[in-house]
Amino acid sequence: MKKRLSLDAYKSGVLQGNRVILSQAITLVESRLEEDMDLAAKLVQEILPATGKSIRIGITGVPGVGKSTFIEAFGKLLIQEGKKLAVLAVDPSSQKSKGSILGDKTRMEKLAADKQAFIRPSPAGFTLGGVASKTREAMLLCEAAGFDMILVETVGVGQSETAVKDMVDFFLLLVLAGAGDELQGIKKGIMEMADAVIIHKSDGENLEMAKQAKRNYQNALHLFPAAESGWSVPVLTASSYTKTGLEDIWNVISNYEAITLESGFKAKNRAEQRVKWLEENLRDLLGNLFFKQPEVQSKLKTEKEKVAKGELSPMVLAKELIQIFIQNK
């Protein structure tokens, strides 16, 4: 990465809303270098008092549903409402090359050019759940920089999309009509977590199919148990092309925000999310320590081939490696 700044330089730059330093700070928290991780941890601690005042919205859906198109159109609406918008877009990473396309700024060209918007694409890497490993930290940095609306766009590759639910206030599920979604898209895990379902691309010849899809989703949602928040999940139709339905979505989110603030559910939900974040950090740090231990590396190198050949149970080797780690910690 570029020359590392001091803690004070990162902190003051982020708090002043300096976009260049904000980008550098996000790069810092995404780094796997030990010295960067130590500095990143201190930075996040320092900016914590300036965080927590935004509305965090997760947006997911199958590839082709038009997430980026929706975010650009919806983002422009939010800016018209006087909001400062940060978009954390997660691009799929190649498990072979470890690279990612990082093309969301290109797909959201008009929004990216707006001074009230900040778009940051990050590679998903090996993180499950359609989010980058440091999305939470990036979100806090954006809040500290003065952005009051945070949109997290997930990769959108399947049922692992639920991790984003644990880091946002409102979870938006985009679906398509007439593409088999009414049958294959109504999957209990993701549907139970949605705070609103949007039938996207509801325009032109799709309008009638969208109305039918809306009825199907509404019927399906009646089968699910009530949400802990007491919220009844609405099904809406929208088109980013014709700009219809977007204000309805914003009204729904605003209503949800008001209700959950008053009931205390938002504060409770965020408290639980912070504890989950702690647990994830513990697993991450322990994993790093485990694989760095020389004795573990040596045993793994010599015995891994036996597992590959089917001569040794993965569970047996795993237990042996953990025992070595405990003995040599």
How large is the average pLDDT for residues 77-90? 93
Strand order in the sheet with 170-176: 117-123, 85-91, 149-153, 55-61, 170-176, 196-200, 235-237
Task: Please indicate whether residue 108 or residue 168 has the higher confidence score (pLDDT).
Answer: 168
- Structurally, at CATH architecture level, domain 51-263 sits in 3-Layer(aba) Sandwich (3.40)
The CATH 3.40.50.300 domain(s) of the chain lie at: 51-263
pLDDT tens readout for residues 197-255: 999 999 998 899 999 889 888 888 887 777 888 899 999 999 999 999 999 999 999 99
The CATH 1.20.5.170 domain(s) of the chain lie at: 1-50
How large is the average pLDDT for residues 7-25? 97
pLDDT tens readout for residues 28-48: 998 888 899 999 999 999 999
Least confident of 25-29, 150-154, 160-164: 160-164
176/198 Cα distance (integer angstroms): 8
pLDDT at site 226: 77
Question: What is the pLDDT of the chain when averaged over all its residues?
Answer: 85
Listed residue (153, 185, 129) closest to 69, CA to CA: 153
**pTM of structure:** 0.87
How large is the average pLDDT for residues 69-93? 89
The CATH 1.10.287 domain(s) of the chain lie at: 276-328
Listed residue (3, 25, 20) closest to 141, CA to CA: 25
Q: Is the pLDDT of residue 264 over 90?
A: yes
85: CB partners within 8 A, 6+ apart:
75, 78, 79, 111, 116, 117, 118, 147, 149, 150, 151
Q: What percent of the chain has pLDDT over 70?
A: 85
Confidence of residue 161 (pLDDT cuts 50, 70, 90): low
CATH 3.40.1670.10 fits 1-50, yes or no: no
How large is the average pLDDT for residues 6-11? 97
Which CATH class for the 276-328 domain?
Answer: mainly alpha
How large is the average pLDDT for residues 138-153? 95
Q: Is the pLDDT of residue 183 over 60?
A: no
pLDDT at site 163: 75
